[in-house]
C-alpha cells in the first residue's frame, strides 16, 4: 500500500517551482507523518540540544535538531527536488547507481522519501550518521516505507573517521552538514574527506556552496548592496584541492573600493546550488541567512582579508582596516545641530557608535540618560526604538532619514525649540 508520505513527495516533485512557497502545509504534513512514525517530539518543552556531538572539525547536531531541519519548508522541497533530479540524471547514463548519504538525521529526509520513485535494482544507498538514535529512528521509517531493499549499508560513525580506502566509489555523495557561511558544522571537512569516493562522472550534493561579500547600507533604505566579490566556493573541485592539502587552508582577500557614505556594513551571503537549477538563495532558509557586521566600516583602498578556520567551531574570520573611527575627544557638543536642525542628536548618535566600537561601556550612556530619553521621546516613538535605531545606524544620514520618514510633526520648529529649552534646563540642573 502506498504510504501518505509517498503522495506528499510526489506532489512536491510535481509542483511548478513558483508554487513552492505556498506548499508549507504540505511540508508540515510530511514532517508530522515523519514524527509519528519515528516517535520524535520535534519541540520538547525543555530542549537544550545537549545530545549534539562536538567533533574536532565541527558540530554534529543532535537528533532533534536534525529533525527540525525538515520544517524549513523551502530547504526541504528544494533539496528533495534537486536530489531527485540528480538521481534521474545519473540513471540516464547507467543502469544502476550507488548513493552515499553522509549525515542522515532521523528522517534520512534528502533521500529515503524519494526511493519509492525507483527500484532497488536501480538505486542502492549507504547511510551514515554519528548518532545511533537517529539511525534507530530512521530504521523505523525504512520499514514503514518498505524501502529496506534499497539500503546497502547503514553505519553509525563519525564520517571524518570513516575509512574510505575500504569503500567502492559512489555516483552521488549527499551531505547537508552546514549552516550559513559554513559556520559551526563540518560540511567542508565532510566533502574534503569523502571526495576520493566520488566517481569521475559523479556529483556532490549540494553541488556548490557560494559565499559572497558585499558592502551594505544597514539598516537599508532602498540602497542596493555593493558587491565586493566571492569569498569561497565549496564544490567538487575545491573538495579535491582541500583533500590534497595535508592541512586544509582557505584564505584570500578582496579590495575595498570607494563607495557612497552609507555603505558602512559588511554583509556575507550563502547561496546553495543543490543540483542544476535547484538553488537556495538569500533568506530562503536558515542556511541562506546573510551574516552582517554592522558598522564594520572597512577603509576604502585597503583589503578585506579572510581565512576559514577548521576547528571545533569552523568559521570564517575577517581582518580589515576600519575607516573613520570615533573617539571620545571628538564627541560633538550638546547643542551641535544635525542637518535637520536638532540639537544633541549628533552627540547621542556618536555615543552609540563609541559603544558599538567598544570604546566606552554602556554605563557611559547612562550619564546622559535623561537627555537621551528626552531626545527619543520627542523625535522617535519611544526610548527603546530610539536607542536601537541610533546603535544600528551607521551614518547620521540614516538617522535623519528615519526621523523625516517617521516624525510627521506639523509644528516641527516649535518642537525643536521646546526640545532645546528642556535640554538647557536639564543641563543646568545636572551640571
Strand pairing report for 278-280 and 291-293: unpaired
Cβ closest to ligand SAM, residue 129 vs residue 271 = 129
What is the nearest approach in angstroms of ligand SAM to the Cβ of residue 181? Answer: 15
Q: Which stretch binds ligand SAM (CB under 6 A): 1-9, 99-107, 285-293, 392-400?
A: 99-107
What is the nearest approach in angstroms of ligand SAM to the Cβ of residue 312? Answer: 12
Q: Grid coordinates in use for 118? A: 525507483
Tell which one of 40, 97, 100, 110 touches ligand SAM (CB under 6 A).
110
Cβ closest to ligand SAM, residue 60 vs residue 380 = 60
Count other Cβ atoms within 10 Å, centred on residue 275: 24
Q: Is 109 in the site for ligand SAM (CB under 6 A)?
A: yes
Residue ranges in 140-199 that form contacts with ligand SAM under rule CB under 6 A:
158-160, 176-177, 186
Q: Which stretch binds ligand SAM (CB under 6 A): 36-44, 101-109, 342-350, 361-369?
A: 101-109
Q: Grid coordinates in use for 353? A: 557608535
Q: Give the whole-angstrom CA distance, residue 91 versus residue 236.
A: 20
Contact 6, 30 (CB under 8 A): no
Q: Which residue has the cell 531626545?
A: 375
Q: Is 314 in the site for ligand SAM (CB under 6 A)?
A: no
Q: Give the whole-angstrom CA distance, residue 390 versus residue 377.
A: 14
330: buried, middle or exposed (CB in 10 Å: 19+, 13-18, 0-12)?
exposed
Give, as one character, the DSSP assignment of residue 145: T
Cβ closest to ligand SAM, residue 134 vs residue 393 = 134
Q: Give the whole-angstrom CA distance, residue 160 versus residue 187.
A: 10
Q: Grid coordinates in use for 360? A: 566606552
Cβ closest to ligand SAM, residue 51 vs residue 401 = 51
Tell which one of 64, 104, 207, 338 touches ligand SAM (CB under 6 A).
104
Contact 318, 305 (CB under 8 A): yes
83: three-class secondary structure by DSSP: helix
Q: Is 284 in the site for ligand SAM (CB under 6 A)?
A: no
Q: Give the whole-angstrom CA distance, residue 124 versus residue 100.
A: 9
Q: Which stretch binds ligand SAM (CB under 6 A): 98-106, 164-172, 278-286, 404-412?
A: 98-106
What is the nearest approach in angstroms of ligand SAM to the Cβ of residue 142? Answer: 15
Cβ closest to ligand SAM, residue 150 vs residue 306 = 150
Q: Is 105 in the site for ligand SAM (CB under 6 A)?
A: yes
What is the nearest approach in angstroms of ligand SAM to the Cβ of residue 393? Answer: 35
Strand pairing report for 151-156 and 291-293: unpaired
Q: Give the whole-angstrom CA distance, residue 1 versus residue 356.
A: 61
Alpha-helical segments (H) within 271-382: 345-356, 362-366, 369-379
Cα 389 → chain centroid: 24
CB-based closest residue to ligand SAM = 103
Count the site residues for ligand SAM by CB under 6 A. Answer: 22
What is the nearest approach in angstroms of ligand SAM to the Cβ of residue 128? Answer: 6
Q: Is 103 in the site for ligand SAM (CB under 6 A)?
A: yes
| Cα–Cα separations (whole angstroms), residue 370 to 169, 344, 365, 393 | 69, 12, 10, 21
What is the nearest approach in angstroms of ligand SAM to the Cβ of residue 2? Answer: 23
Convert residues 122-151 into a mask of x (bound to ligand SAM by CB under 6 A) and - (unbound). ------xxxx--x-----------------
What is the nearest approach in angstroms of ligand SAM to the Cβ of residue 261? Answer: 40
What is the nearest approach in angstroms of ligand SAM to the Cβ of residue 185? Answer: 6
| Cα–Cα separations (whole angstroms), residue 418 to 30, 229, 375, 426 | 61, 49, 11, 12
Q: Is 35 in the site for ligand SAM (CB under 6 A)?
A: no
**CA end-to-end distance (rounded Å), the chain:** 83
Convert residues 44-63 into a mask of x (bound to ligand SAM by CB under 6 A) and - (unbound). -----------x----xx--
Contact residues for ligand SAM, defined by CB under 6 A: 55, 60-61, 66, 69-70, 103-105, 109-110, 128-131, 134, 158-160, 176-177, 186
Amino acid at each position: 500500500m502506498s504510504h501518505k508520505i509517498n503522495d506528499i513527495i510526489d506532489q512536491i516533485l510535481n509542483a511548478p517551482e513558483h508554487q513552492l512557497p505556498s506548499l508549507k502545509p504540505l511540508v508540515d504534513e510530511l514532517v508530522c507523518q515523519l514524527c509519528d512514525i519515528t516517535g520524535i517530539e520535534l519541540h520538547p518543552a525543555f530542549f537544550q540540544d545537549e545530545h549534539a556531538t562536538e567533533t574536532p572539525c565541527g558540530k554534529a547536531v543532535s537528533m532533534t535538531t536534525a529533525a527540525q531541519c525538515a520544517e524549513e519548508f523551502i530547504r526541504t522541497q528544494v533539496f528533495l527536488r534537486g536530489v531527485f533530479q540528480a538521481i534521474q540524471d545519473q540513471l540516464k547514463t547507467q543502469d544502476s547507481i550507488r548513493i552515499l548519504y553522509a549525515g542522515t538525521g532521523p528522517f534520512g529526509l534528502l533521500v529515503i522519501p524519494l526511493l519509492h520513485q525507483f527500484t532497488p535494482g536501480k538505486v542502492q544507498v549507504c547511510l551514515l550518521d554519528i548518532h545511533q538514535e537517529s539511525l534507530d529512528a530512521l530504521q523505523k521509517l525504512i520499514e514503514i516505507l518498505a524501502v529496506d531493499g534499497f539500503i546497502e549499508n547503514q553505519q553509525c560513525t563519525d564520517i571524518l573517521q570513516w575509512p574510505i580506502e575500504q569503500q567502492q566509489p559512489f555516483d552521488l555523495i549527499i551531505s547537508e552538514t552546514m549552516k550559513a557561511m559554513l559556520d559551526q558544522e563540518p560540511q567542508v571537512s565532510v566533502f574534503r574527506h569523502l571526495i576520493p569516493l566520488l566517481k569521475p562522472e559523479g556529483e556532490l550534493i549540494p553541488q556548490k556552496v557560494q559565499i559572497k561579500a558585499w558592502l551594505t547600507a544597514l539598516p537599508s533604505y532602498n540602497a542596493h548592496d555593493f558587491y565586493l566579490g566571492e569569498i569561497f566556493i565549496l564544490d567538487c573541485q575545491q573538495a579535491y584541492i582541500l583533500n590534497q592539502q595535508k592541512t586544509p587552508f582557505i584564505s584570500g582577500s578582496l579590495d575595498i573600493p570607494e563607495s557612497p557614505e552609507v555603505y558602512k556594513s559588511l554583509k556575507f551571503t550563502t547561496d546553495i546550488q543543490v543540483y542544476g537549477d535547484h538553488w537556495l538563495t538569500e533568506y530562503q532558509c536558515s542556511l541562506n541567512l546573510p551574516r552582517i557586521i554592522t558598522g564594520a566600516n572597512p577603509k576604502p583602498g585597503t583589503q578585506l582579508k579572510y581565512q576559514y578556520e577548521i576547528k571545533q567551531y569552523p568559521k570564517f574570520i575577517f581582518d580589515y582596516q576600519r575607516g573613520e573611527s570615533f573617539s571620545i575627544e571628538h564627541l560633538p557638543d550638546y547643542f551641535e545641530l544635525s542637518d535637520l536642525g536638532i540639537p544633541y542628536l549628533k552627540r547621542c548618535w556618536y555615543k552609540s557608535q563609541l559603544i558599538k566600537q567598544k570604546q566606552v561601556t554602556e554605563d557611559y550612556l547612562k550619564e546622559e540618560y535623561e537627555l537621551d530619553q528626552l531626545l527619543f521621546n520627542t523625535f522617535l516613538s519611544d526610548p527603546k526604538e530610539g536607542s536601537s535605531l541610533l546603535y544600528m545606524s551607521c551614518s547620521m544620514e540614516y538617522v535623519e532619514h528615519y526621523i523625516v520618514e517617521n516624525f510627521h510633526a506639523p509644528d516641527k520648529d516649535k518642537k525643536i525649540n521646546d526640545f532645546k529649552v528642556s535640554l538647557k534646563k536639564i543641563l543646568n540642573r545636572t551640571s
